[in-house]
Amino acid sequence: MGDNQDASIKVVLENGKLLLVRCPDEKTICEFTLDDLAEIIEFRYATPWNKSKDILEKLAIIINDIVDAYANIPERPPAKDDLMRAVKLRMSYSEKET
């Protein structure tokens, strides 16, 4: 990381990409697509590329659903169990409340 040894790195999943982001300046220092990650899984664990990519795409959708549920209800975040149920049933958290 060069001259800034005190900087930490955060992993961010955004728009189907895994980003390595340097803190505190929030500069993206590396980006991996789902294809990149599927290729790593394929070779590291002898898992077919198409199966790996399918699982990663589903994971990205689920993570986005979880983030959306928390972001859209800031005044009263859902409990983990309620959120998991809503995501499993593909409901928005606000639909669950009605």
DSSP assignments along the chain, one per residue: -TT-TT-EEEEEEETTEEEEEEETTTEEEEEEEHHHHHHHHHHHH---HHHHHHHHHHHHHHHHHHHHHHHH-TTSPPPHHHHHHHHHTT--HHHHH-
Length of the chain: 98
The overall average pLDDT reported for the chain is 84
pLDDT of residue 75: 75
pLDDT of residue 64: 87
Rounded CA-CA distance 92/86 in Å is 6
Q: Is the pLDDT of residue 98 over 50?
A: no
CB atoms within 10 A of CB 78: 20
pLDDT in tens, 28-65: 999 999 999 999 999 999 999 999 999 999 999 998 88
Closest CA to 35 of 27, 43, 26: 43
Give the position of tokens 């990205």.
Answer: 60
Higher pLDDT, 71 or 26: 26
Specify the pTM: 0.72
The greatest distance separating any two alpha carbons of the chain, rounded to the nearest whole angstrom, comes to 53
pLDDT of residue 4: 52
